[in-house]
Structure 1
Amino acid sequence: MKSKKKKYRYGIKEKTLSFILFPCIMIALFSCIYTGYSQYNTIEDEIGTELKTAAYGARIISESLGMNADEMKSQIDTYADETDTEITIFNGDVRTVTSIDNALNTKMDAHIEEQLIKTKANLYVKDALVNGEEYFGYYIPFVQNNELRGAAFSGIPKAKAQSIIIKKVVAMVISIVIIMAVFVTIAVLQIGRILKKLTVASDYAESLDENDLCVEYDNKIKNDVDEYTEIANILYRAINKLRDLITNINTSSQSSLNISSELSRNSQNLSRTTTEIANVISNVTEGAQNQADETQKVAESIQNMGKDIEIIVDNGDKLSEAAQNMSAAQNKVVDTMSVLHSTNQTIMNDVTEVNNQIEITNNSIKSIYSALSIIQDIAEQTNLLSLNASIEAARAGEAGKGFAVVASEIKQLADQSSTNSSEIECSLQALIENYKLIIDKMENTTANIGEQNDKLRETESDFETLNSGIAETTTQIKEINDIVSDINNQREVINEAVLNLSAISEENAASSQEVMASVEELNSIVSIVDDKASELEKMNKELNELVAVFRID
């Protein structure tokens, strides 16, 4: 592929590098400033922590050795060397033991003493003066009975502390600069790879802009897999597809030119054919319309017949319902007569039982008559006996007066028994007469019930005959309804078929008219196609001229 690269004063490589390097430099500068400031304070706090630890150690030494200055001096010097700090023990505000040269028996700074007396708490300062030299120092006061008795001090010269801080900050800044340098180096290398792929894509785009479709694939990016390589591959594939498309357009335009000429000739033949088809369709349309009118008349007749069938079916249903109602009523009457027959039988049994009871009562009355006759005989004999007793009492005189009273009472009893017997006899006689009447009525009732049972049997027989006739009538009505229903179903099928035929006829007529309109429209379309074929031929020639600008060989 021949590359015709355009030269730019400020290209993508320069822009990309500036976009990456300038932010990186600014970030590095800001990081250095921020790191220096934050690390300075952090390191000062770390020094304070170390001094605090050393001061507590000095306090422990002081408390363990008491006021033995020589031994304490030796321990303090050793501890100062170990911690790389200066250690001092104050007694009041005077340095009684110290590792600082020429500081023995010197006094504590007035402002520091004032703060310790006021707060009686640990104090970290960065400007403690010892022999005119400033120290970073940490004070731990000795408080007894709420009074300051002394203090333990650990410190390092301020110049030494600042030197330590600067070294650590510089180390941090150098680390940041190295990291940013490595990052920038990696970014530049990566940008170089990206720019190489973008350059290939740019070459493809320039070839496409110059209508040069004869390009070769750059194997330098063959094994790379990323978005930029994909852009170059997409452009390469697009150029190949465009080249194939232009080739196909050339071939197709030539074929289209031939087809347009053939299409013009065929459209003229089609116009003549459609005119003949239009005449035939006109005749078909007229016949379909006549067929639709006749089928419509047949459908109306079938519809009227359907209404008559519906009336017959409705009457048959009503007749069947009436027969069912009659059958139900007849069944109720038969049940009622059965109950009546059973009731009559019960009455006859009851009448028979009453007759038996009357017979038993008659026999009892006869027994009462016999007993009553005996009672009357006894009353007569008692009356005679009382008469004889009265006579004998009269004969006895005064001695028979009591017996005369008894005889009188017996006579009265005999008369009363005779009277009661007569009344009982009359009552029994009346009772016998009433029983005779009851027996006659019972015999008549039994005869009537027997006759009524005979009539019930005859009526039941007549109703059974009627029930058979109703069942047969119901069956015949059901058969008639089934036949009429079948006729109605067949009528509906015929009606549906006629309606379908009518609809088909109407559809045929409408379709014929639509086909007629379509044929007429086809004629106009054929004319348009003829015109468009001429236009297509002209357009194919213009298309050939347009694609000729692309180099594909």
Structure 2
Amino acid sequence: MKKRGFGLSGKMLCMALIPLIVTLVVSVFAVSFVSGVVTENLAENMLTSNIYLMDQILSSQSQSNSDDDSGKDSNFLDIMTAAKEKTGGVDYALLMNGEPLITTADVTFEISQDVQETIDSEGAVFVADDTTSGEECYIYYCTVGGDQESDTESTEETDSEDSAQTIMLRGSISHATVMGLYKSYIVMTMLALVVLIVISSIIVILLSRKVVKAIGRTVRNLDKIADGELKYELSENMTERVDEVGMIARSIHHLIGKFGHSVSTIHDSTETMNAFTNQFKGNFAKIDAQIGTVNQAVSEIANAATSQAGETEKISTKIGEMGGAIDEASGSLQELVNSTEQMRSQNEKMNEILDELSRINARTEESIDAVYEQTSATNKSAEEIRNVVDLITNLASQTNLLSLNASIEAARAGEQGKGFAVVADEVRNLAEQSAESASKISEIVEELIGKANVSVRTMESVRGEIGSQNEKFNETRVTFGMLGDEISKVAEEIDSISVQINHINESKEIVLISLDGLTAIAESNAATTEETAASMVELGDIVNDCNIATEDLVHLAGDIDDNVNVFKVDFETAWHGEEVDEEPRVESES
């Protein structure tokens, strides 16, 4: 909606005319207020100056015509009449002892007593509101000579005497005449003010139109910027101006350059971000494929661990059947200690996700290494069990031979060796049972070793896949250009079980300890595989979240690129604008 109101030209015109109009109005009121005082002063000055001039003229005329008294009065009257016409209505009168001798006035007049007394004491007086002639007048009386002797001839008197006479000049002008002159002066002054206002208005209009025209061009340039047009340059006539309009033009010129540079930079950044996100999506696809491979390997490890636990349970059952021969068993095994250093999070969310992936991948690798080491330890323990079983088998064979020899010796002893023969038979039976149990244990151990070897090979394959995955992951991190802390691996050490077997009871203890170790390892393997499977599921979820975030990033980059394309900028040769003065020149007061 377009707002209504005065334009800039109208406002500038008002700024120039209002003071003049106010001055004119104040002058009118001031003139009206002081008109009485001004007219009185005007009349007094006029009469004083005119009477003074008339006094000088009459004095000089009187001296020049001193020899011709007959024409003196007529000359005085002519001079006064001519002066009245020139002064615009001032009536003159020559008085002697208060009585008019010569006058240009058409009316009669008289001098009041108080005025006469003032003239006698001061020699001159100004009366502002005299009405003796029938209308209001301004009157000025002035004596033109002192006491003088004059010869007065009288036809009725026979003797002559000297007498003192007072001669005065009287000047009068009506109030209406003075007011007319005053009004004519006021009218001329007002006309001059009106002419001044008109001339000022014309000058202001011309200057304001020039300024408004320049500002209009500046506004049109701003409209181009608002429409996204940045591939243009301001004219030199605008940027080289030394007034405020030039300052605005240079600021707009500088704005166009900076804005164009910013838009070009954003455009380049969006292109780089698009390439980066596409490469990032490919890397996450590779990670997803590797996660599938790891999940399959972990599933195989879990199956092997479950089978291993079942076989270990069978061995424990068989060892339980040998409880009469084996009294005590004890064992100790140091548990695996896993620790992973946490990576510092980066400023951006994608780097944080990569760091989380790195930690999860490290935990997966460590878990697989732990499973691998535990499987190797299980295989080693099974080898030791096989050695112990071989030892038991040899002991059983020797015991059987000893019992056979004892039976032969008992038979030779006759009646006295029968009790010893019974003992020898029991020993032989026990030896045969031990040999049979040892044989079964040997079979179970062989099967356990075979499955452990399968687990070792599987873990080696998984470790190879994990290594390949680590390489791909490192390539992804190099693509981001964000190098984090290396994943530190926790050294894992397992204390070997050192047992000295001195006799058959120690052998039984070794067998029981080994079986307990196998059970713990099987349970640990099962738990580790479960944790690894859960970690891989979590890793898969994180990768999916990363894919979603990458898609959002692609859409965001597209939106930014669409918004940037609104501006018409040559992105290949981005116009950076020309540098302008930080302190633009301003036109001086002159």
More helix by percentage: 1
Task: Give the number of the structure whose alpha-carbon radius of gyration is greater.
Answer: 1
**TM-score normalised per structure 2:** 0.40
